[in-house]
A and B are shown apart, each in its own frame.
Chain A
Amino acid sequence: MKLQIVFIIASLFTFMYVIGRIKKHKLNIDDSLLWIVWSIVLLILSLFPKLPKVLSNFFGFESTSNFILTSFVFCIYLMVFFQNIKISELKEKNKNLVQKLSINNKEKPKE
């Protein structure tokens, strides 16, 4: 019961913090979606504690807490991986921009 309340509070705080960032123009909506979904999942899990139990049994975990820990770590792995891809893309775009700008700024050789 205690844990349930902690989870509910955590999910609400996550949601409020994300909205706060959007309000302050620090986060764009596309990037916020993941965190909003995250807080919703957290809320659902804490409101219906039977749900993780059922899933845990289905996947063959010995205890529910193991299941929660494993699936959260897995989610974090995925998030880190996709962030890595994004960073690669940004690096490439940034390089591209510098190159194009530099080529445009190139001074013609004096005759």
Chain B
Amino acid sequence: MKKNKKVLVIIPAYNEADNIVKTVEDVINNATETDYIVINDGSKDNTLDILKENNYNYIDLIQNLGLFGAVQTGLKYALINDYDVAIQFDGDGQHQAKYIKELVDSLDNNDIVIGSRFVESKRPFTLRMIGSRLITLAIAIVSKKVIYDPTSGMRAYNKETIADYANDINNPPEPDTLAYMLLKGKKIEEIKVEMNNREFGESSFNFSHTVKYMFRMFISIFLIQPFRERK
């Protein structure tokens, strides 16, 4: 890792009382030389109390904004405080902080680096992973670049892309914006990481949610992203 690169780990947390301590301790212990910020997205459980008790560095949103708004808050904070690199890192304990250094290093030659579960290993045939393959295909058709794990929530952004994601109305941290970034000529790379299964709480994905999500992704990748401005 190059010295004097200011790195911020952004940890969005919504109702993560069971997982947040483990996640933040992991970041503090295994990603030294980085700062972190937890964005409490109006949690209804006692996530906020836990953040206060442990004296963690956090921003408390007074209203629930959803993942997009929460991550964007972190990116705006990174922009204001002049960070060179921002890492998006789930608060549910799925991501491992030991990979952060690799992500940051790889950002020397790239604009966005994704922590990917499937660079080498194949995706299992569950509904979600079939969805993931279809998104990979859609992005490849539009941008001619294969991204094996487009739905991964573990991403590193360089300074330029931080500004882009922080200020644009239509850049949620979702796979369709990856297609847009590729069309803009940004370089995206994937790094092999392993992820833990969720220990507590349920993932927000169910059947109807997945179908809606896929629908949104397809319309966006094929019919919207190719026509957006590429300044």
Contact = CB atoms under 8 A, between A and B. Distances in A.
Interface of A: 15, 19, 22-23, 25, 27-30, 32-33, 36-37, 93, 96-97, 100-101
Interface of B: 62-63, 168-170, 172, 176, 215-216, 219-220, 223-224, 227-229
B63 A22 contact: no
Interface of A is mostly: helix
B216 A33 contact: yes
Contacts of A29: 170, 172, 176, 216, 220, 224
A101 B219 contact: no
Most buried by B among A29, A37, A97: A29
A32 B224 contact: yes
A15 B226 CA distance: 13
A36 B169 contact: no
A25 B164 CA distance: 13
Contacts of A27: 169
Contacts of A37: 219
Nearest to B177: A29
Given A23-B228, A93-B63, A100-B62, A28 B169 contact: yes
A22 B216 CA distance: 15
Contact of A96 (B63, B169, B223): B63
B66 to A, nearest CB: 10
A98 to B, nearest CB: 11
B62 A101 contact: yes
A97 B63 contact: yes
A23 B172 CA distance: 15
Instruction: For the complex of A and B, list the 6 residue pairs with the smallest distance between their C-beta atoms, beginning with the closest.
Output: A19-B227, A100-B62, A25-B169, A29-B170, A23-B229, A28-B169
A61 to B, nearest CB: 29
A22 B170 contact: yes
A32 B176 CA distance: 14
A33 B219 CA distance: 7
Nearest to A103: B62
Given A29-B172, A32-B224, A33-B215, 8 more contacts: A22-B224, A22-B227, A23-B228, A29-B170, A33-B219, A36-B223, A36-B224, A97-B62
A56 to B, nearest CB: 27
28 contacts: A15-B223, A19-B224, A19-B227, A22-B170, A22-B227, A22-B228, A23-B228, A23-B229, A25-B169, A25-B170, A27-B169, A29-B170, A29-B172, A29-B220, A29-B224, A30-B216, A32-B224, A33-B216, A33-B219, A36-B219, A36-B223, A36-B224, A37-B219, A97-B62, A97-B63, A100-B62, A100-B63, A101-B62
Nearest to B172: A29
A28 B62 contact: no
